[in-house]
Amino acid sequence: MIDQLQVAKSDDDLDIPFRFWKNHPATGVDFPDLSIATSEATLTRPLVDALASRIPAKIDVLAGLDIGGLGLAGALAYRNGLGFIDIRKVDSLRNEVMRSIMANYELGEGVVISKGARLAGRHVAIVDDCLISGGTAMAAARLIRRLGGHCDCALFVFEIEGMGGRERLAGSGITAEVLRTAPQTATAPADGN
């Protein structure tokens, strides 16, 4: 359930409007929904520019994670002249178009890359809207690596603090670039609205 609108701010004056989804993906964790920002061009452009500034020069391909990272990765790829692939949850692709599967028990069935993706020898950065535990990004990185790609960078708009995602990725040799942190649980606005 979406219960409130907040604006995240930083020293560089980049505002990222978002709403929390209460108790999603688990009780006691509120997910920062980015759709308010991404539905407005005047808000999307600075957000994409901020993420683009964090893409290492060696990157050839951006891998958008289903579903929040897909649009962001596409926009970043177009802006920076990079390749783009989508990494989907197993149930979102038909078997005949799947290239390979990597188990991710947090997603149930895992993640997949379509057969057309050429990754061998290429440097790939993962893109998603929110870093929570890091499980999905780690499964994606393992799959990219198994297919011959190099993956040591992931870009996120938000990181939910205290969930261990950044540390978990670092333990797998992946640097997490994050624009903002969000609390695990949303706080009520001061005026009660």
Q: How far is CA 168 from the centre of its chain?
A: 15
Q: Which of 31-45, 66-80, 92-106, 145-159 has the lowest mean pLDDT?
A: 92-106
Task: Inform me whether the pLDDT recorded for 161 exceeds 60.
Answer: yes
Predicted confidence band of residue 117 (pLDDT cuts 50, 70, 90) = confident
Token pair of 174, please?
């992946």
Q: Give mean pLDDT, residues 87-116.
A: 59
Pairing of strands 61-65, 123-131: parallel
Distances (CA, A) of 21 to 1, 28, 123, 162: 5, 11, 33, 17
Residue 103 has pLDDT above 70, yes or no: no
Average pLDDT in the 67-93 region? 87
Range scoring the smallest mean pLDDT among 108-112, 137-141, 158-162:
108-112
Q: Is pLDDT of 120 > 90? A: yes
Least confident of 13-22, 118-127, 172-181: 13-22
Nearest CA among 49, 178, 171, 183 for reference residue 126: 178
Buried b (16+ CB within 10 A) or exposed e, 74-96: bbbbeeeebebbbbbbbeebeee
Residue 23, pLDDT score:
87
The whole-number pLDDT of residue 90 equals 67
**What is Dmax (Cα atoms) for the chain?**
54
The 8-class DSSP code of residue 66 comes to: T
Cα dist. 160→74, 82, 183, 185 in Å?
Answer: 23, 28, 6, 9
pLDDT at 12 (0 to 100): 56
Contact between 51 and 156 (Cβ < 8 Å): no
Task: Answer yes or no: are the C-beta atoms of 158 and 180 closer than 8 Å.
Answer: yes
CB of 136 closer than 8 Å to CB of 167: no
The partner residues of 180 in beta bridges, in order of sequence, read: 158
Mean pLDDT of all residues in the chain? 83
The mean pLDDT value for 162-173 works out to: 96
Q: Are 62 and 125 in contact (CB under 8 A)?
A: yes
